[in-house]
Chain A
Amino acid sequence: MQENENISHEHDDDEQHEHAHDDNDTPQHTHEHDDDGQHEHEHHHEESFIRKYIFSLDHKMIGKQFLIYGLIMLFVGGGLALLFRWQLAYPGRPLPIIGASQQYIDEGEIVTSNDKRWDKIFESEKEELMETHFPNGVIEDKTYNMLFTMHATIMVFFVVVPILVGAFGNFLIPLMIGTRDMAFPILNMLSFWLAVLAAIVMAAGFFVPGGHAGAGWTGYAPLSVDPQWTDVGWGQNLWAISLLIQGFSSLVGSINYITTVINMRAPGMTFFRLPLVIWSLFIVAILLLLAFPVLSSALALLIFDRLAGTTFFTTTPEGGGDPLLWQHLFWFFGHPEVYILILPGMGIASELIAVNSRKPIFGYRSMVYAMIAIAFLGWIVWGHHMFQSGMRPGMGSFFMTTTMLIAVPSAIKTFNWLGTMFRGSIRFTTPMLHGIAFVSMFVIGGLSGIYMANTPVDIYIHDTYYIVAHIHYVVFGGSLFAMFGGIVFWYPKMYGKYMNDTLNKIHFWITFIAFNCTFFPMHILGVGGHMRRIANPQFYDFLQGFEGMNIFITMSAFTLGFAQLILVFNFFWSMKRGKVAEKNPWNVTTLEWEAPTPVPHGNFAQIPTVYRGPYEYSVPGEESDWLPQAQPEHAPASAGD
């Protein structure tokens, strides 16, 4: 520990001098940095617009950039989902507004186009985008594949990770560990702009002939390998290239996070005084660092297969590749990835719950150990996605065991959240509502995981809507509720304003109710055997009974989608019109609230020293019910008014 503190000290000296003329206009710089023209420029008071808002090196600005980026992509991904939800409720009916077609109005019926496609398949004539994707205003089957593939791809890689890891990670890590910026600000900027590039490449895929990728977000080979199986050309290539770029972005970002957390903690900030959200982001960064290269290599091989004629993922007698190789690589990355999606949510929820219960986290250390356990076990469960792919029964049993094992730390965390509320003094602020929603939705998602971890039961529910329900309970019910809560909670520190609380409460309740109406019935669809990734459930006799439920789900989904407009309106409106925020409105102990609001370049006037753990609420014998981490023993509160 001693060693770590030394490093932090050294660093502080450096940085403090550099920033000195920024904060107090006292040009007492002594270090060689000053000869460096770039640094000089970087810390100038009058930063140019481009430096400040676009190619910013400031971790807070990069965090906000990631947030806006993620919110935009959230609407893209959500819009795609609403399009295909329409098709599921009303198969074959033209889309509202965009699909009002003459043929439907005239004849009241539409011919499906799969037959025509067979003839067309090797022809390369250019057609109107709308005509190919939505002939007569109807989502045709191939377009349907494209829509859900891109929905999931965008949500996983362009929404949840950029917001939870990119935005919150960037904004919170330096502030909460008490330092002035990330270890590598330029890499940090690079990480954001690589993500933008990836998004542009991904968006381009919608406009190439043949349409965008349509092999699922899991891109199973050989479907994703050979255009002859899907009639998709460059779309799938761009999908792979874009994810490769996104992989580099994550890689660069994670190196930065890891280095920053290890080396730049404020004096006194030992590892076991780190807030849980920082622990979660730290662990996630390690997972990203180790998992993403596996996906990247798989994608590179896929691109070789598609463009250079190799056969890694196909079986030709001469070639000797194997489609299952793709699944192994993908899920070896994919399972750690799903924990990458949820761990920051767990961290954020822990903050929200402790602060609003005015209590220390129950079992802080076991919370940390549970996350570490998840991070380790996450590497040996990937086979549970492949139970039906023909693996030997013995392998299935092995993966069932490890999967059951990983349910244990998840349960531990849930019990500890309950323990944190026990005998608390719970304030039902909007962030707390989101925290409570997180816990309850995660409980449902975790419990539904048990069904699928159970191999015999998984035979039946694999690849049905049961999985879809499970995914959304953990990723939407979990990660996104944590994200909403986190946005409302840290907004005053990010933008120096309060969000409108009435709008926030309305947004919460509509989202919470519509979310459950949308996704809970999907469990029932799954039990009924309703396959996922099909464009027309009405095609099957055994699914006839589910039409009403599908319509109900679609209506709830539209409500859920439109409710998000409230949040976004509030988000931008409050930036301009919100009430000016105090420095520490929620009475929180952690370091980010020590910084002035709005947080200046360099964060702290003086690097705080840390005297205690992050959750010292309601300490007996203390007058106020919170003891800031940076408050020296036996001294009056330094923050709060």
Chain B
Amino acid sequence: MLRWLPPNISEYAQGIDTLFELIYWITVVAFVLVMGTLIVFLIKYRHREGHRAEYIEGSTKLEIIWTAATTVIVFGLAMLSFPQWNNLKSAPDNPDYVVQVRGEQFNWYMIYPGPDNEIGTEDDLELENELHVPEDKLVQIILTSKDVIHSFFIPNLRLKQDALPNRFLDNIKFQAREPGTYEIPCAELCGFGHTTMVGFLHVHTQEEYDDWVKEQWPE
């Protein structure tokens, strides 16, 4: 099942795949045990002439055992997830680059701060559906929306966050490891053009990226 995952190029989100795999194995084992038991019961205790069911009303001991076992497993999983979740959904301390992304029916607008590193100034650059970042650098996204709720989804980075109108979320960050071009679909229904709302993440090597910067802000 997990081989269907698109390649994971995120430095941060490797843990998601690990957890995915862990839960996968836990659930596969649980599934096989339960279904195995069910099938054995169905065969072994099928109705046979002259054979009577046994009158069993329950067993407090068993109830306690399986309640405790499930509780331990699901809470174990929860404990493993807390630190990751906190890490994944909190704003970065010292991002190398900051880009503001605005969802607007039916495009992603990427606003680069330019040489002064500040958004909302003269030298900002706004591109449609193009997110350029250098590899291995910590990038922070400030996410917002102009109209309805969109969802910024980069499958290869295992990253997803809803974009809310008039709110500026700063909790999105990534560090991409593989240069290349990746799709940025919108994952939240946003109207009749939702299907075709897609942007592109261009991960460059550092030199390529520097060239791109020179091209955009010559002088």
A→B interface (CB under 8 Å) = 114, 117, 140-142, 144-145, 214-216, 220, 222-223, 229-231, 314-315, 323-324, 357-366, 388-390, 393-394, 396-397, 400-401, 404-405, 407-408, 411-412, 414-416, 418-419, 421-428, 436, 439-440, 443-444, 447-448, 450-451, 453-457, 459-460, 462-464, 523-524, 527-529, 531, 533-536, 539-542, 617-620, 625
How far apart are the CA atoms of A56 and B42 in the complex, in Å? 43
Q: Which residues of B contact A444 (CB under 8 A)?
A: 31
Consensus secondary structure, chain B interface:
mixed
How far apart are the CA atoms of A389 and B40 in the complex, in Å? 44
Known: A142-B192, A229-B148, A323-B149. A390 touches B66 (CB 8 A): no
Q: What's the nearest-Cβ distance from chain B to residue A613, in Å?
A: 9
Q: What's the nearest-Cβ distance from chain A to residue B5, in Å?
A: 6
Q: What's the nearest-Cβ distance from chain B to residue A144, in Å?
A: 7
- Ranked nearest first, the 5 interchain pairs of A and B with the lowest CB-CB distance are A529-B155, A363-B58, A142-B192, A404-B74, A423-B54
How far apart are the CA atoms of A460 and B81 in the complex, in Å? 14
The answer to whether A404 touches B75 (Cβ under 8 A) is yes
Known: A220-B149, A423-B53, A447-B31. A408 touches B162 (CB 8 A): no
The answer to whether B19 touches A220 (Cβ under 8 A) is no
How far apart are the CA atoms of A163 and B42 in the complex, in Å? 29
Q: What's the nearest-Cβ distance from chain B to residue A553, in Å?
A: 14
Any A CB within 8 A of the CB of B119: no
Any A CB within 8 A of the CB of B35: yes
Known: A364-B57, A527-B2. A456 touches B81 (CB 8 A): yes
Q: Which residues of B contact A447 (CB under 8 A)?
A: 27, 30-31
Task: Specify which of A144, A365, A407, A531 lies most central, judged by the most chain B CB atoms within 10 Å of its CB.
Answer: A531
Q: What's the nearest-Cβ distance from chain A to residue B87, in Å?
A: 8
A sample of 26 inter-chain contacts (CB < 8 A) reads: A145-B189, A358-B52, A359-B53, A359-B55, A359-B56, A388-B160, A388-B162, A389-B149, A393-B86, A401-B75, A408-B74, A411-B67, A416-B58, A419-B58, A427-B47, A436-B42, A443-B34, A450-B26, A454-B23, A463-B188, A527-B1, A527-B5, A529-B6, A533-B189, A533-B194, A542-B155
Q: Per a CB cutoff under 8 Å, which of B41, B70, B85, B191 touches A400?
A: B85
Known: A393-B90, A426-B42. A524 touches B58 (CB 8 A): no
How far apart are the CA atoms of A275 and B180 in the complex, in Å? 61
The answer to whether B160 touches A462 (Cβ under 8 A) is yes
Task: Specify which of B42, B57, B189 lies most central, judged by the most chain A CB atoms within 10 Å of its CB.
Answer: B189
Q: What's the nearest-Cβ distance from chain B to residue A219, in Å?
A: 10
B19-33: CB near A (< 8 Å → 1, else 0) gives 110010011001100
How far apart are the CA atoms of A523 and B5 in the complex, in Å? 11
The answer to whether A362 touches B74 (Cβ under 8 A) is no
Among B121-129, B165-173, B210-218, the stretch that binds chain A is B165-173
The answer to whether B4 touches A524 (Cβ under 8 A) is yes
Q: Per a CB cutoff under 8 Å, which of B30, B86, B195 touches A141?
A: B195
